[in-house]
Structure 1
Amino acid sequence: MLVHVFDRGYASGYWLGVPATYRSRFIIRWIKNHHVITNEPVYTEAQAWEIFFSYRRRWQIELSFRYAKCELALKCPRLWSLEARLKLLGMVMLVYAFLLSLLDPKHHELVQALLRFRCPRTGKRCQQVQAPLYRLRWALSRLWSDYRPRFSCFLPPADDLLAVGSLIRDLERFQKNWG
């Protein structure tokens, strides 16, 4: 069952009225004296803990937004047309999906080798901490900066070498601007 989790900025009569109108479940952070408020009945300690942990998961969403704004350059894209924004969003989501796919346990050895090679950390605590996406993206960026990938292997054979050369220059310009 879907539960809407709001931050304190939405603690107004209007925003509390919207979920009430649609009979939606919600949790909202309130002022200091009231930690959370909800429209769910709470009769047991287990129900109270369920609400607490639901609100706590909100932080994971906040971190993913922060990562998208800072590391994936979505804070202020400065694109006016909807088509251009959708293209940028598609490319960014592709990169984000690629980074998330590297966190799959089957790629653990590859990621550890990459981090040791391009983003080493010393100390017992740093070696036992899970690798965040920030560090993984930075290691890939440093690797590709030192060993630039060749996109020419993906190009189909063509008779017009000028067109292929132009395409390669466009890809390199794209990589320089966005990589």
Structure 2
Amino acid sequence: MFKKLVENRKTSPLQQNGASFLLSQSDKYLEKLQEQLTAQIDKRLARTFFDLFVVILTFRNRSMGLLLSELGGYICGFAHAPAGTKRISNLLRCKKWEASLIDQFLFDQAKSRIEHFRAKTKKALLLWDDSRIEKPESWFAQGLCSVWSSKGKRLTKIKRGFYLPPMSRICVPGFKWTAILVSALGETPRVCQMSWWTTRGKFKEEGSNIMYRMLKKLKEQIGRGAVHVMDRGYAKSKVLEWLFDFEQDFIIRWKKNHLLAHEQKGQKKTHLLARSFKAMAYRSVWDKERKKQKRISIAWTPIHHLEYPDNQLFLVIVRDKNNYNNPMYLITSLAIKHSQDAWDVCSAYMHRWNVEQAFRFGKSELAMESPRLWFWDNRLKLLAIVSLVYDFLLRMIQYWKDWLNIFLKQWCHRTGNRYRQASIPIYRLRQAISYCLFFALAQNSG
């Protein structure tokens, strides 16, 4: 459907400049990947791949966004929805291609972007984090394991005037999700890798293996060209060992009860060691998560990890001057000689929030928790295509900022001074693209 519109856009009845632009940009974005797919699978399946990509852009529904029966209506028209569903099923079941093909495509793009940052003397940031896909109603699908339910925790949060909910951790069926975004300070993030894995059954995997393979690939193909930014879940000696072995720079938010070594202060827990160092610089920053201005202070000192005394590290202590939030402890392999270096480390870690936003957008707007596929490999292929859609949206924001203002005004207009002053939200962009492409489908079907 959509592939035919791209190939015949000169003679097509399609009159929309917006839809034509979106389809041509999608075709350009997937050009190299489609060439590789055409060499491995049937040409008709490669066409279905492009159509499925555009359909995921078009159809917005959190609970049913990735159901094949729903997507099929957009492939062949709603009167022939079963035929469209069959085409998508044939694409995902095809054994001649794997989700690793999309992983390599995203990694090649991230590699070229890191080299671009290096040429501009910017520090490339690789933003790491883990999440989970919850499937509480599923039971027999392949690859399910026990995951901690963040949704269950949120729903059972204590509220005044209601009964006391259960306090123990809630676990549901699901699988793990590891994401890596590539970015730099002041730049739009892009997808480097998204991996889904399970801890049970035939497809059992360890999350540490994913990290090891990624660090090894970076060492072989890029070298020491990026800074890994990680949260407290990665504050482990094993992670430090791999980062040192593969000669990678890093910034990790450290846990307050872990031991660190200082030349004058000796061995102390992180929060006890940090007490010895007073603020060295102050700055007012905007906390965009809490929507308020904050006055923070920063201090730093050289330290060593007990298991790796030969590797010089630096501890950066970030404090809220009004004590609204607990101090933040960051350890880094980057040399800190003056206050600006310390502020850069703090800003780089705060930039890591973009990967948290990627998880939220994937679950809410891209419906990553909605697929009902029995086989694990088929599910990985579908989720890999969804990660392509997310990267494409980020690419639109990166390269077409001026065009987006006009596009949003036509297809997702909002009133009020707040919307005129705010940066372009990716949620509004997705909604505008959905309306635009659906209108093109309605014009050219039936």
TM range (shorter): 0.5 to 0.7
Match of 2:260 in 1: none
Match of 1:74 in 2: 368
Match of 1:138 in 2: 431
Identity of aligned residues (%): 38
Shift of 1:83: 4.1
Letter in 2 for 1:6: M
- Note if 1:60 corresponds to 2:60: no
Match of 1:40 in 2: 334
Segment drifting more, 126-135 vs 97-106? 97-106
Shift of 1:73: 2.2
TM-score (norm 2): 0.29
Where do 5+ consecutive residues of structure 1 fail to align? 154-167, 169-179
Shift of 1:135: 0.8
User: In 1, Cα distance between the equivalents of 2:443 and 2:389?
Assistant: 16
- Note if 1:149 corresponds to 2:441: yes
Shift of 1:148: 5.4
Where do 5+ consecutive residues of structure 2 fail to align? 1-224, 257-325
User: In 2, Cα distance between the equivalents of 1:102 and 1:24?
Assistant: 30
Match of 1:9 among 212, 228, 233: 233
Distance 1:94 1:36, change over 3 A: closer
- Superposed CA offset, 1:60-119 (max 9, x none): 23323332232122246454545423431353244334433443565734x344433443
Match of 2:323 in 1: none
Distance 1:83 1:121, change over 3 A: same
User: In 2, Cα distance between the equivalents of 1:66 and 1:35?
Assistant: 25
Shift of 1:151: 9.0
Distance 1:88 1:108, change over 3 A: same
More strand by share: 2
Secondary structure of 2:331's aligned partner:
strand
Q: How many residues align?
A: 152
- Note if 1:25 corresponds to 2:25: no
User: In 1, Cα distance between the equivalents of 2:401 and 2:248?
Assistant: 40
Shift of 1:28: 0.8
Match of 1:88 in 2: 382
User: In 2, Cα distance between the equivalents of 1:7 and 1:130?
Assistant: 26
Shift of 1:143: 4.4
Shift of 1:12: 2.6
Shift of 1:59: 1.7
Distance 1:137 1:20, change over 3 A: same
User: In 2, Cα distance between the equivalents of 1:69 and 1:84?
Assistant: 19
Shift of 1:19: 1.9
Match of 1:122 in 2: 415
Shift of 1:8: 0.9
Distance 1:37 1:75, change over 3 A: farther
- Superposed CA offset, 1:104-157 (max 9, x none): 565734x34443344332112212322211011123334455x3515968xxxx
- Superposed CA offset, 1:25-64 (max 9, x none): 2211124445211233322223222322322221223323
